[in-house]
Amino acid sequence: LAAVAVAVYVLWPGPGNAEFESIAVLPFANLSATPEDDYLVNGFKEELVQTLHRIDGLTVINVRLEPAADARQSSVDTVLYGSLQRSGDVLKVSYTIEQPVDGKTLAAGDVSGSLDELFQLQEQLAQAVQAELYPGVTQVLVSRSRPASAMAYNEYMLGAFAFDRRGQPGNLEEAIRRFEATIDLDPQYGPAYLQLATAHALLPDYRGADLAESNAEALATVDLGIEMDPNIEAAAGAVYGFVYHKEKRWAESEAAYKRAVNAQFVDANAFNWYSRMLGSVGDLHGSLRIARRGIDLAPDSAVLNSRVAMVYTWLGENDAALRYFDRANALGADGSTHLMAYALLLSRMGNVEASYTATQTVIDLEGVGGEWVDPVFAALADPALSLDALAAVDAASEKRELTAQVEVVVRTFLGDVDGAMDIARRLEEPGEVFEMDLLYTPELRALREHPEFPGLMRRLGVLSYWRANNCVFMDGDVSCPDA
C-alpha cells in the first residue's frame, strides 16, 4: 500500500531512545482459514510498516518473501512476525519480535476487538510494537489520514488489495469500484481520489481504454481530490507526471514526478513511473538511480524490483539484472513487458531454453498465436534462417499477433532495421505504443544508428529534452549529467 494512502502516525523519538536500528516485518499469517480476510491481514501489516517507517533512525524492511531466512540475510537487528484471526466480527492480531540470529524472543503480544474497532486495533498494534522497540516515543495523529468511518476504510483496503494485484483479471475494475465506494462514504478522503485517478490512468495500458478519455478522467479525479484534501497535492504529481509522459511532454512530466517522489508521503509507484520516463528519453543511469530510490522505500515491491531488473538489462549489466529478475519473479512480478525483458536477458546470456519458455509464457498470457517463435529462435541459432524467420514475423504481424515492443526487437535481431524503424515510427501516435526505453538496449543499437533515428527523436520531443538537460547522443548512446 502506498505511504500516501495509509500514513497514520508520525513518530518523533527523542534522542537516545533507540534500542534497535533495524527491523524486518515478515508476512502476517491469516489464521482465519478464509482467503476473504487476506486484505485485513495485509492491511494490518502495511499499517504497521508505514508507522515504523516514521521512526527516525530505524531501518524497516517490509518482507514478502518467506521463510525467515530472507530476513536474516538482510542483517537486521530484529524480526517481527504477525498473525490475524477472525471469529465472526472479532479480530485478534498477535505479534512476536525476535532476534534473527538465535531466534530469541524479545517481545510478544496481541490486540483484539471487533471489526468496527478496526482503526483502534491498528493504532493499538502500532503503539504496542513501538513501545517494545522505542519506549517513551510519542505519536502525533496526521490530520485527515483516514476515512471518517470503518466502513469507508474497509472499502479502501479492499480497493488497495485489488489494485496491488491489478494484473489479475477483473482486479483493476474491482479496485475502481472500491475506491469510488470509499469516496461516496467519505468525500474528503484524499488517498482514495489519488488511487482512483491512478487506476483510471492505467486503463489504456491494462484494458486498451481510450487514452484521452482516461487521462481526462484521471486528472479530473485527482484535481477534485486535491480540492477535498489538499494533503495529497504533492503526491498527486505522480498522476500528472504519468499523463504528461503519455503525451510526451517530457519537461512537465519530470517536474511533476519530482514533486511526487519528494513528497512527505509518497506512493512507491511514483518512482517506477519516473524511472520509466527517464528511460524513455534515454537517461538509463538516471532511470536506475530513481528506481533504486524506490527500492529503498519499498524493497518488497515486485514492480520496482522488475523495473530495476529491466534497467540493468538495458544497460547491459547482466548479472545485476538477473539478480533483480530472480527477486521480482519470487515476489510475483508478471506481465508481458517484464517477461519479454527477462526473455531478452536470458537469450543474451546464452540460456536459450529458458528464454524460449519465457517467450511462450507471454504468448499464452496474451492469448495470441505463436507460430513465429520457433522460426525466430532457429534464426538466432543459425542466421542463415533469417529470411524464413522474417516471413513468419510478417505473417504474425498481419494477424496482429505481435506487440510493437516484440516486433521492434525481433526485426532488429533479424537484420530488418528498416522494418524495425517502421514500428518505431508508431511512437509518434498518441499514447505509448511500447515503452520507449527499449530503444536504448544493446540489442537495438543498429536501430539507433539508423539515419532516421535522430529525426524520430526530434519529432517525439526527446531532442529538445536532451538539449535542455545537457544530454549528449553519440555513437548510439545517450549520456546525461547526474541530477
Q: What pLDDT sits at residue 69? A: 46
The Cβ-side half-sphere exposure at 282, using a 13 Å CA radius, reads 29
The Cβ-side half-sphere exposure at 210, using a 13 Å CA radius, reads 4
Q: What pLDDT sits at residue 287? A: 97
Q: Distance (Å, rounded) from C-alpha 67 to C-alpha 92? A: 23
Query: 28: which DSSP letter?
Result: P
On whether the pTM is more than 0.85, the answer is no
Q: What pLDDT sits at residue 341? A: 94
**281 within 8 A of 462, measured Cβ to Cβ:** yes
Q: Which strand (E) or helix (H) includes residue 26?
A: none
Task: For Cα atoms 404, 398, 361, give the angle at the middle one, nearest 5 degrees.
Answer: 55
Alpha helices (H) in 110-249, listed in sequence order: 118-133, 150-164, 171-185, 190-207, 211-228, 237-246
Which residue ranges of the chain lie beneath pLDDT 70? 1-19, 53-54, 56-57, 64-75, 135-146, 264-265, 483
- Please list, residue by residue across 89-120, b when 16 or more beta carbons sit within 10 angstroms of its beta carbon and e when fewer do: eebbbbbbbbebeeeeebeeebbeeeeebbee
Q: Distance (Å, rounded) from C-alpha 356 to C-alpha 343? A: 7
Q: Distance (Å, rounded) from C-alpha 352 to C-alpha 357? A: 9
> CB atoms < 10 A from the CB of 481, how many?
11
Task: Give pLDDT tens digits for 366-382.
Answer: 777 889 999 999 999 99
Would you put residue 16 in left (φ > 0), alpha (ψ -120 to 50) or beta?
Answer: left
Q: How far is CA 99 from CA 42, 50, 63, 103, in A?
A: 23, 21, 16, 5
Output 309-313 pairs: Cβ under 8 A, ≥24 positions apart: 309/341, 309/342, 309/345, 310/337, 310/338, 310/341, 310/437, 311/275, 311/279, 311/284, 311/287, 311/437, 312/288, 313/341, 313/344, 313/345, 313/441
- Identity of residue 126: A
> CB atoms < 10 A from the CB of 77, how many?
19
Q: Distance (Å, rounded) from C-alpha 362 to C-alpha 215? A: 27
Task: Give pLDDT tens digits for 54-64.
Answer: 676 677 777 76
Q: What pLDDT sits at residue 312? A: 97
The Cβ-side half-sphere exposure at 390, using a 13 Å CA radius, reads 15
Spatial CB neighbours of 365, under 8 Å, sequence gap ≥ 6: 334, 335, 336, 339
